[in-house]
Chain A
């Protein structure tokens, strides 16, 4: 009796998971499918699930409809630069918060938490004014600098550093390692799964970010892919949804690749504590 109950409960659980998975995966698959259809098929009703003819030309059209190479380069520069800066600022900050007693520590960490809770949309105006005062608006700097320090990164890394046993750090001190050295040769390698996860979050967020580049830039030379792709919508004769979706496929392809490569690390990051 109990056994049957357990089994059917499992079934319900799985069914639920399947529904949720479909909810997430379907729009994505729909985008992929649309990217390969020709325009008449896009308009067809009832819609087809899979394209009748595979229209690779959409990708070419998307790529050639603007300076996409430049957008891509900008996107890479911005996302990578942010990643490096956040890494360089979060590691020492997290180490200090996790391992040192200093006056004002709680207050400062409180500020970090506050920063974590304030969405960028609220503070973009003062930042815009500030950057424009420095003459940085409409440069790549305006996309990079505001994100040079990540409250989320500091928070996440601090948790990871706090897990490192005291004795390991003490052993390193007895091995004549400087604090700087301990940070980079002991703490960072031990927090690798968390670092990888954070790096992915950060990269994906800034790679996909639409809002910030949209406000901070007004010429193609400094635009990133998401803004560039949205300009596909403005083509005359109505939106070419298939080309638009092909552009989006180009946008997310690098992220998919990274995700599949780093999957192992991501999963590890979430099961690390239990080891």
Chain B
């Protein structure tokens, strides 16, 4: 077990900077998720921690040791790949045992460890099979077992669930989280799926274009996004961004689930405490428990997420209202969050029990 520290980590491929001076502390025993859009450098960062890619600049520490000069096999890390990368010619047993053997673990210890792990991940009956004779979920488990059996200080996972179907993915998410609790080791998990990031991580690192945009716990990330990028990346659907009223150097944003739809005939109770906009419903997506309304307003198109679909007719005229404490202010140029339109304490009961 160990914490991982990145200091000014840079990676350049053929004169193209893809990771731009990352500074990051991954606490011991944390489940840290690197999340960001495709091509932002998540995998590259993970591979540098693993030692599969050398950092062009900067230093990486695992525990208190600088690992820049250590080959992957000596870093005491294990990695789970997106496509599992099992050894196709070896059976499950040998796949799991390979790393142990290379460390000189005795045959007897090896056998005990492999069987123990196989039991944990539910592969005990499949030890003699080749990877090609397993289902996707089972292969995933072999990959996990292969990583776990080495009892590494740090687990690295690069989108390990993206090849599974939705149901299995949910199940594995839960299993991975409980596995993390059980083992207590440091997990570094890469995904481009923000839902996965929010549900699994206890620390989330949002990346964009080779830079870190924000590092925070899931709820903080949702409630206190530091900039426009995070505000729009986290949350589904993304935050609505509208022009600020009275200031051209700012933008305002609010989450679709914090907005309220009123029929146009009803006027908001306390208009001064609300951001309001009149508009027309242009489309509707029913998600089951929630409904998304796309509303074309005088202040731009916004999405409203509500539990009911009562008012929802195409073309109905509506008023969108948002309590001011839920409206974030961003600097138009830098994208940085400046604050909110009103303090959260001010949210009054009349806004409809927001928060």
Interface contact B87-A186, CB-CB below 8 Å: yes
- CB-defined interface of B29-58 with A at 8 Å, one 1/0 digit per residue? 000000000000000000000111000000
Interface contact B85-A170, CB-CB below 8 Å: yes
Residues of chain A lying within 8 A (CB to CB) of residue B71: 173
Interface contact A168-B87, CB-CB below 8 Å: yes
Interface residues of B in 51-75 (CB under 8 A from A): 51-52, 71-74
Residues of chain A lying within 8 A (CB to CB) of residue B85: 165, 167-168, 170-171
CB-nearest residue of chain A relative to B143? A171
Residues of chain B lying within 8 A (CB to CB) of residue A192: 89
A4 beta carbon closer than 8 Å to chain B? no
Interface residues of B in 72-88 (CB under 8 A from A): 72-74, 77-79, 81, 83, 85-88
B270 beta carbon closer than 8 Å to chain A? no
- Which single member of A174, A177, A185 contacts B78 (CB below 8 Å)? A174
Residues of chain B lying within 8 A (CB to CB) of residue A178: 102
B103 beta carbon closer than 8 Å to chain A? yes
User: Which size bracket describes the interface of A in this complex?
Assistant: 10 to 19
CB-nearest residue of chain B relative to A186? B87
User: Which size bracket describes the interface of B in this complex?
Assistant: 20 to 34
Interface contact A174-B102, CB-CB below 8 Å: no
Interface contact A173-B89, CB-CB below 8 Å: no
In the assembled complex, the Cα of A189 lies from the Cα of B146 at a distance in Å of 19
Interface contact A174-B77, CB-CB below 8 Å: yes
Residues of chain B lying within 8 A (CB to CB) of residue A173: 51-52, 71-73
B99 beta carbon closer than 8 Å to chain A? yes
* Most chain B C-beta atoms within 10 Å of own C-beta, residue among A167, A168, A176, A178: A176
In the assembled complex, the Cα of A190 lies from the Cα of B130 at a distance in Å of 13
CB-nearest residue of chain A relative to B52? A170
Residues of chain B lying within 8 A (CB to CB) of residue A189: 89-90
In the assembled complex, the Cα of A177 lies from the Cα of B81 at a distance in Å of 17
CB-nearest residue of chain A relative to B103? A176
CB-nearest residue of chain B relative to A177? B102
Residues of chain A lying within 8 A (CB to CB) of residue B314: none
Closest CB pairs A-B (n = 5): A176-B73, A167-B85, A175-B99, A189-B89, A171-B85
Q: List 30 A–B pairs whose Cβ atoms lie within 8 Å, in order of A's numbering.
A: A165-B83, A165-B85, A167-B83, A167-B85, A168-B85, A168-B86, A168-B87, A170-B52, A170-B81, A170-B85, A171-B79, A171-B146, A172-B98, A173-B51, A173-B52, A173-B72, A174-B50, A174-B51, A174-B72, A174-B73, A174-B77, A175-B98, A175-B99, A176-B99, A176-B103, A177-B73, A181-B102, A186-B89, A189-B90, A190-B89
